[in-house]
Structure 1
Amino acid sequence: GAARPRPPGGGGEQLRLLRRDEPVRRLLRPLLQPPYSFHFEKPLPPTAAPPPPADARRYQQLLPAPQPGTYVVQMPKDKVFRVPPPENARLFQHYTRRARRRARCSCARVCSWLLLALVLLAAALAASAAVVYLVFKPRQPDYTLLSLAVSGLGGILGNASSTAAPAPVAFSPEFDATVRADNPNGKIGVHYEGGGSHVAVSYGGVRLADGAWPAFYQGPRNVTVLVATAKGLGIRFSERLLGDIAAAGRLRSVPFDVDVKVPVRLQVGGVRTWAVPVRVRCAVVVDRLAADAKVVSKSCRVKARFLFWKD
């Protein structure tokens, strides 16, 4: 038969390009459905393609004309967005872990700074206390009960010695405790506050009288003798306790307990400290129940909560 005319401009090379691209077109032909288009930059060989279906031709007429040298690939919408790419999940997990690490690091950083501030504050307080101790050398004041005058209990001996049953009598005892306060500190003064102070005298655990500690200032290296008064009103004794006091009076050995609680402020140079309660408990034995009673024995114990307070 007659020979097929060759296309101008190298027909053999174009035929090879057509054969090479034929598998690609065969695979993409079933996907040529509306509505999305993707453009891939690649030279398009001048070959004749089979005519598209009627629906595709009508849709292509509505689309803008593609630039020369490009492929037009149309894919269904459900095939494009149905499954997200796996790298999205990896990126989400990566950013989530990084945000959690940042939150943990921020919390740990705040706790570290707070702990460091507390340690520095404790170190500063310890250094200040050490300086105060080395410079002022604070020592605890000393208290001694010199005498205890008793009044209002003289009728106990006569009431207990009667043969008849003792009638219930109310007593109003009064005690005057003479106390010697010694401040051995050379650079520290002591402020005794009367408000909030309390003095109590008891016998065998029974409260007999109550009073207050006098307010005054005691300078450095000072010795002060003061009198603290405690009074009771309408005290009624049981028959057993009345007999015990009368027997102790006949033996000239009557024991009493004196408890003192007084707020104290220290004067360190020009600085006055906060109020700290000082407690004094004295066990004293007198020879008789009278105003001129003499102390037979005594022992006092002091409790103070000052820092670095030395006995």
Structure 2
Amino acid sequence: MADHQRIHPMVSIEMGKPAYSRPLMPHQAALLRSDKGNLVQHQPPLRQHTVPAIPSQPPPKRRNSCWCRCVCWTISLLILLLIIIAAIAGILFLVFKPKLPDYSVNNLRISELRLNLDLSLYARFNVKITAENPNEKIGIYYEKGSQISVWYKSTNLCHGPLPKFYQGHQNKTVMDVALTGQSQYGRTLMTALQEEQQTGRIPLDLKINVPVRIKLGALKLPKVRVLGDCMVVVDSLSTDNVISIKSSTCKFRLKL
């Protein structure tokens, strides 16, 4: 039995532990010995990535704020100006109590109404108009450039200017105005007028356009226009006769 005995080397009885173990070290770390002989862990410095600096921009100019201030000041001044004008107008209205002038057609006479050789229609009317200024403290200057015209439907038969004059307070002025005109398609127009004359009711439209200046005491205001439209119905268009006016309706307005 002694022949079968073999000598084996001694093996550590502590199983599960390797004979040589490698110390665990953190990633990218090193062990250094301190002055006292102890081992200390040394961590290498981390690399820092330098971020390029963004160049600073100058602060934006305050153009928008200046523009807003200018707009606000302008709007405020305009509002203030409108308030002042409205206050002045209100005071003038209360003091002078302005009223529109009134116009009426007194009579109408036809001097000529004939066909020319070129078949155009020549007309000459005489219209007597009364202009009334009902204001107690306001005078009216009738300026150049006025016109009164007589229309039959959409055709201008004749026209002429009103005289230039000054009308005082609460004054009535009668004007005798001569109107002349020449219209194309005279034969057709004459036939239509003759047919209307048989009915005894011929509608005519008198349009008035008069530039005036208002006088408030010693103050003379800028020029405005009086626009009028009178629908007149007459019984006849016989020449050299006073024509009877059956009805007359007028409307007036001011144009600045």
Alignment TM-score, normalising by the size of structure 2: 0.71
The alpha carbon displacement at 1:300 in A equals 1.0
The alpha carbon displacement at 1:173 in A equals 1.5
The alpha carbon displacement at 1:242 in A equals 2.5
Counterpart position of 1:269: 217
The alpha carbon displacement at 1:250 in A equals 2.9
Does the 8 A contact of 1:208 with 1:235 survive in 2? no
Work out the number of aligned pairs and report it. 204
State the secondary structure of the residue aligned to 2:242.
coil
Match of 1:297 among 243, 247, 250: 247
Match of 1:244 among 188, 192, 196: 192
Does the 8 A contact of 2:156 with 2:183 survive in 1? no
Structure 1 residues 151 and 122, CA gap change in structure 2 (3 angstroms)? same
In terms of fraction of residues, the more helix-rich structure is: 1
Counterpart position of 1:10: none
Aligned residue type for 1:272: K
In terms of fraction of residues, the more strand-rich structure is: 2
Structure 2 residue 235 is matched with structure 1 residue 278? no
Does the 8 A contact of 1:145 with 1:177 survive in 2? yes
Matches of 1:256 and 1:191 in 2, distance apart?
Answer: 28
Q: Where do 5+ consecutive residues of structure 1 fail to align?
A: 1-82, 157-166, 307-311
Q: Where do 5+ consecutive residues of structure 2 fail to align?
A: 1-49
Structure 1 residues 203 and 105, CA gap change in structure 2 (3 angstroms)? closer
Matches of 2:123 and 2:198 in 1, distance apart?
Answer: 19
Structure 1 residues 124 and 151, CA gap change in structure 2 (3 angstroms)? same
Counterpart position of 1:138: 98
Identity percentage of aligned residues: 32
Match of 1:189 among 123, 128, 139: 139
Counterpart position of 2:78: 118
The alpha carbon displacement at 1:267 in A equals 0.5
Does the 8 A contact of 1:172 with 1:235 survive in 2? no
State the secondary structure of the residue aligned to 1:140.
coil
Counterpart position of 2:107: 147
Structure 2 residue 174 is matched with structure 1 residue 225? yes
Does the 8 A contact of 1:168 with 1:236 survive in 2? no
Does the 8 A contact of 1:211 with 1:230 survive in 2? yes
RMSD, aligned CA: 2.5
Counterpart position of 2:124: 174
Does the 8 A contact of 1:265 with 1:274 survive in 2? yes
Matches of 1:255 and 1:111 in 2, distance apart?
Answer: 55
Counterpart position of 2:7: none
The alpha carbon displacement at 1:254 in A equals 2.1
Matches of 2:179 and 2:66 in 1, distance apart?
Answer: 63
Matches of 1:207 and 1:111 in 2, distance apart?
Answer: 50
Deviations 1:76-111 (A, max 9, x none): xxxxxxx9x95x94xx44xx23x43x4333332222
Structure 1 residues 109 and 175, CA gap change in structure 2 (3 angstroms)? same
The alpha carbon displacement at 1:191 in A equals 0.8
Matches of 1:107 and 1:234 in 2, distance apart?
Answer: 59
Matches of 1:133 and 1:187 in 2, distance apart?
Answer: 11
Structure-to-structure mapping, 1:21-100, within 5 angstroms: 89=55, 92-93=56-57, 96-97=58-59, 99-100=60-61
Match of 1:106 among 43, 54, 66: 66
Matches of 2:154 and 2:174 in 1, distance apart?
Answer: 27
State the secondary structure of the residue aligned to 1:238.
helix
Deviations 1:239-269 (A, max 9, x none): 3x33321122233322211111110110111
Matches of 1:243 and 1:113 in 2, distance apart?
Answer: 66
Does the 8 A contact of 2:142 with 2:164 survive in 1? yes
Structure 1 residues 149 and 110, CA gap change in structure 2 (3 angstroms)? same
Deviations 1:109-155 (A, max 9, x none): 222222221121111111111111111111111111111111212x6
Counterpart position of 1:199: 148
State the secondary structure of the residue aligned to 1:104.
helix
